[in-house]
């Protein structure tokens, strides 16, 4: 029974959720922790598990705001799951990261993300910056649009389960993060995240109806992140995933920043032929400058998706859209990002 605050000293029950899938979205990895003050947490978890039998126990501890015990439970789950499978660890499907090396097993619902020792140009941030971005996401209201991560130090795996290709990639891209000891491969630092279908891969074999729905979701994800004072920085399709509920969630945090730190600008009009033909910007660009008109380029590789996106969300190409939102946030606007459909509410206010 989700409870809403009237803001006038009283509360009301906003809806009743009874479908396990609907309840699951409230306790999703893409939403904030509940920070429950529970004297016996396992009793809450046992109750919630009855409502959502398909959710893993560690996911429920995480949702309650007990990520340390969540990590312990995840480790037990992962060991058990790995022992019951013969599938190897492989590089995660999709476009390889310039900053992160991501691996998984084909039959596993999670990915492991290791910060590479050196980043592929043009990425030039530090390891600390990447960690700070991931930690910002943990503390922010994820609003249903950013995937939570669990951070591990010294996480051990069975070396024999790693594909040759993945092993070669680890030795090339992240040698300082791994230690081999007998059959053990220990990662000095690694994030765990829910596996989704990268949006660029999803678009390859979706039908027209799915295309329409997922592009609407993609635009809504960018808009809801923005209304929550988050600018994703790198909004390429490959940096968003599609969940099993068909929701689009962001997972690439190395360029993330508060929306209010950005300066949204229009592209200046060229004054002569030389400027018009220039391959590099002829005007000064500061690190915080963002040119929304250039967002069109994010889709240049997928014209089918671009067509639908332009129909639904072309307001994102307008600097004024972003500036207006910044103004609203500065004036204290906080969005209501409901984890259920508006039509499910008892009463619309």
Ligand X SMILES: Nc1ncnc2c1ncn2[C@@H]1O[C@H](COP(=O)(O)OP(=O)(O)OP(=O)(O)O)[C@@H](O)[C@H]1O
**Residues belonging to the active site:** 148
Check binding of 292 to ligand X (CB under 6 A).
no
Distance of CA 80 to the CA centre of its chain: 26
CA dihedral of 65, 71, 76, 80, whole degrees rounded to 10: 100
Could you give the string, one character per residue 188-207, with x where binding to ligand X holds by CB under 6 A and - elsewhere?
Answer: -----xxxx-x---------
Check binding of 237 to ligand X (CB under 6 A).
no
Please tell me the distance from the alpha carbon of residue 95 to that of residue 214, in angstroms, as a whole number.
19
316 DSSP 8-state letter:
G
Q: For residues 78 and 199, which CB has a smaller minimum distance to Mg ion in the complex?
A: 199
Q: Whose CA is closest to 145, among 250, 62, 258, 253?
A: 250
Q: For residues 113 and 265, which CB has a smaller minimum distance to Mg ion in the complex?
A: 113
Stretch binding ligand X (CB under 6 A), from 18-26, 87-95, 204-212, 317-325: 87-95
Stretch binding ligand X (CB under 6 A), from 32-40, 50-58, 135-143, 248-256: 248-256
Show the tokens assigned to 96. 């390889």
Q: For residues 102 and 305, which CB has a smaller minimum distance to ligand X in the complex?
A: 102
Q: For residues 229 and 239, which CB has a smaller minimum distance to ligand X in the complex?
A: 239
Q: Which of 228, 229, 239, 302 binds ligand X (CB under 6 A)?
A: 239
Check binding of 98 to ligand X (CB under 6 A).
yes
**Residue ranges binding Mg ion (CB under 5 A):** 97, 239, 252
Show the tokens assigned to 211. 């295309």
Neighbouring CB atoms inside 10 A of 348's CB total 6
Q: For residues 211 and 235, which CB has a smaller minimum distance to ligand X in the complex?
A: 235
Q: Which does 59 bind (CB under 5 to 8 A by kind): ligand X, Mg ion, none?
A: none
Check binding of 241 to ligand X (CB under 6 A).
yes
Q: Whose CA is closest to 239, among 226, 254, 223, 258?
A: 254
Q: For residues 99 and 222, which CB has a smaller minimum distance to ligand X in the complex?
A: 99
Check binding of 100 to ligand X (CB under 6 A).
yes
Q: Whose CA is closest to 252, among 289, 227, 221, 228?
A: 221
Check binding of 254 to ligand X (CB under 6 A).
yes
Please tell me the distance from the alpha carbon of residue 74 to that of residue 28, in angstroms, as a whole number.
16
Check binding of 312 to ligand X (CB under 6 A).
no
Please tell me the distance from the alpha carbon of residue 25 to that of residue 336, in angstroms, as a whole number.
15
CA dihedral of 66, 244, 104, 80, whole degrees rounded to 10: 60
Neighbouring CB atoms inside 10 A of 206's CB total 19
Q: How far is the CB of 240 from Mg ion (least distance, A)?
A: 9
Q: Which of 134, 218, 251, 322 binds ligand X (CB under 6 A)?
A: 251
Stretch binding ligand X (CB under 6 A), from 62-70, 182-190, 247-255, 321-329: 247-255
Please tell me the distance from the alpha carbon of residue 270 to that of residue 5, in angstroms, as a whole number.
52
Distance of CA 338 to the CA centre of its chain: 17
Strand partners, 104: 90
Please tell me the distance from the alpha carbon of residue 246 to that of residue 117, in angstroms, as a whole number.
34
Backbone angles phi and psi of 339, in degrees to 5: -85, 20
Q: How far is the CB of 196 from ligand X (least distance, A)?
A: 4
Residues 48-77 binding ligand X (CB under 6 A) are none
Check binding of 173 to ligand X (CB under 6 A).
no
Check binding of 256 to ligand X (CB under 6 A).
no
Count of residues in contact with ligand X, rule CB under 6 A: 22
Q: For residues 17 and 249, which CB has a smaller minimum distance to ligand X in the complex?
A: 249
- The site for ligand X (CB under 6 A) is made up of 92, 94-95, 97-100, 102, 111, 147, 193-196, 198, 234, 238-239, 241, 251-252, 254
């Amino acid at each position: 029974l989700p409870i809403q605050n009237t803001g006038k000293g009283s509360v009301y029950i906003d809806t009743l959720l009874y479908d396990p899938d609907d309840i699951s979205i409230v306790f999703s990895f893409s939403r904030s922790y509940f920070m429950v003050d529970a004297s016996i947490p396992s009793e809450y978890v046992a109750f919630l598990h009855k409502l959502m039998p398909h959710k893993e126990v560690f996911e429920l501890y995480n949702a309650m705001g007990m990520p340390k015990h969540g990590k312990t439970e995840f480790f037990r789950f992962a060991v058990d799951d790995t022992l019951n499978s013969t599938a190897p660890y492989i590089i995660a499907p999709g476009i390889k990261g310039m900053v992160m090396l991501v691996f998984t097993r084909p039959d596993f619902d999670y990915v492991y993300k290791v910060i590479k020792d050196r980043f592929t140009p043009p990425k030039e941030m530090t390891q600390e910056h990447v960690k700070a971005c991931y930690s910002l996401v943990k503390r922010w209201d994820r609003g249903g649009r950013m995937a939570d991560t669990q951070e591990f130090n010294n996480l051990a795996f069975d070396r024999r389960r790693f594909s040759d290709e993945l092993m070669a990639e680890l030795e090339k891209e992240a040698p300082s993060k791994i230690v081999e000891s007998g059959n053990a491969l220990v990662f000095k630092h690694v994030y765990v995240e829910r596996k989704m279908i990268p949006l660029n891969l999803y678009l390859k074999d979706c039908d027209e109806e799915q295309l329409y729905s997922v592009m609407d979701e993609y635009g809504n994800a960018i808009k809801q992140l923005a209304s929550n004072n988050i600018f994703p920085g790198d909004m390429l399709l490959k940096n968003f995933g599609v969940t099993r509920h068909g929701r689009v969630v962001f997972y690439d945090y190395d360029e993330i920043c508060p929306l209010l730190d950005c300066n949204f600008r229009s592209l200046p009009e060229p004054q002569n032929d030389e400027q018009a033909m220039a391959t590099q910007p002829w005007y000064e660009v500061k690190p915080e400058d963002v040119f929304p008109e250039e967002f069109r380029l994010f889709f240049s590789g997928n014209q089918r998706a671009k067509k639908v996106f332009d129909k639904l969300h072309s307001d994102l190409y307008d600097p004024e859209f972003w500036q207006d939102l910044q103004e609203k946030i500065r004036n204290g606007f906080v969005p209501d990002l409901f984890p259920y459909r508006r039509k499910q509410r008892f009463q619309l206010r």
